[in-house]
Chains A and B, each alone.
Chain A
């Protein structure tokens, strides 16, 4: 097992360097210039342009800039935003808990509804339920997030008035951020109603962000279950008189879960991509919105370091998924 873990870790190093090159090069390949954008319609004099570019180090050759950047990153310095002038890591750490909280809720929703729905559809293959579940999943998968989010806001918040429109908590509540997770902080604050307000603010964004992963997981679970349910050992289990619950829940599901876990792992990337739109619609102060704003402003340090940190997180999650396989299916360890 240790060799397996070390082997996986060794692969991460070249991947990480590769990502850093792509992140660095990506934003510089795009047309646009952060210094030029500072002055908007107002034209900046060429000598001032040069002065500011020099201060920011953008007049040096690209390989030199990259090498300095990599050295800084390895020493833990991710640079400061050109726009807000704040350190990128500070902003990331402030904003990331919001994205993480939303993503965790979304993935929990997707797993706790998607897996049982997929299992149920597989058992009742061809029935009305199967068709209803799979059609709903297809609709969910194809739904444009922006449209879906606005639709829910207009219906649930606007017309019915059941949930707040946007934000993380009612503006009436104001307390120190301890963990950055609003659900936990609202409980710690001890203010009456704060937790309830935080939950009510989470409902719609969780549904919107969880929709696509939910659909994918339900479909994946169904097809994996169908495959497993046709296996000989399942027939044997049935034949020896095990109750259906044990056959499906223990013998079949455990084996069907391997591709499902892979899918869930891959959904982390989907969640972070979906977070960009979901956070924009629900004014959710997370890293998705932060990255998009930075791309528009060509805020090089934020984009390159932000991408690098996010890629690092996705790599770690995939590593964890690989390790989880080992637990679910011991054969993979070898």
Chain B
């Protein structure tokens, strides 16, 4: 309805309005090798005015990348038409392409060329006149504070810097339309904010239109229009404020009372019939659901709050997916939380440092984690999180300090310590050509499981992660979300006491992140200790304790509430974990310089 209404409005206005870009009823089908056809996009229509900012959102494999590639001329649509500046095009059309800037997910930098050489190459490829280059270079380099690094190899830059360089390479010839495919995946909140500042500043200078796909709904909320895709279909389209209204009257905030942590409350709420979605938020739990006035519902104590985009998004998606998603969530058995008494810490690090030559990746970091805790390790790109992680898993030797995991000195007997831990790497690190079952069998053997126990554990994780339908499929052909599930299933095969997860939700949509965290909550309630790194700051709310690192140094440590309180001392405006993180890191950085 919403969609029909907005297109109707536009149609009335359109005769006088000049459109920069228009996509009409775009469809795209792919044929798999086995002859199966997949509809990646169905009848997508979109109009872009000069200077507009439009966000594409949707779960994994919803067709966002396919649509951006069609607009960029990398794919030819199966049906429908595209117009750019009044000219019709499809596929490769040099005249149109020279006015479109496209940054793919892998941002297309040549890592063995320097920053300057990358800029020159893209300037030449896009026919930027030599005379105008120095000015453009200076402006772009200044915008992303990269002027001192022009002679550095692109491969040596940090993740956030690469992203910014990718962006300015795309912008080297001022495009009329900028296409960004998930530009903020795997980027910390600080770099993410900088990236958006660059985009909005350039948009203000030139009437550039931007079409961006993102899995951060708060980013989408800042756009003029949002397009929600699901399995190739347009679920909703319109200004974010209008879309938010879909969840009006259904958004609540429920405070978590002292002994229950928000994570457990959320997990319980998700199983209630009237609840559509629940997520921890600043010490409370945000709930979307139908409040039934007659019954004594779990929501009767909840406070109604203005809806936000994520609420509508979850509402629409759950309507679409219906019981499938619900079943996935409810399959995760929630065990009553055993009382957490003050026990011996299961992880204990004291004054741990790690040097790489002259470079100090981790500098004198100490913290403890108790059994059954969810522990979050946060920090900007290059903060030393992965190094800390690898040292805890015994994959990397510490230069100095003491590390005890499950009561075992990791520095002395790393192999012994590793038997107690499960590790899920950030990159997909299973055997792609092997089937799901073969992967499970191989890793069960690698962890030393034998006989009945091995069969029982494999059956158990297949059941827990609902892998039954996928057993014969090669791991590399699984959709992204299922690959993550399989990786986690493998990490849990030997029933580790501690599970390490390195950016497990990077690039995942809110729906699969909910399922992921529900699983983590269930594990923690069974007494498994979970250590996790993430770039989604709101996910830190699921943790019992968090550690914020930057430049290898411990900046803050405590419960989410303590961290927020600490940040509020620095900046009273801080409400969300995102703000708290930025405030703490910026404070530390300004002190350093």
Does chain A bind chain B?
no
- Give the B-binding residues of A (Cβ under 8 A): none
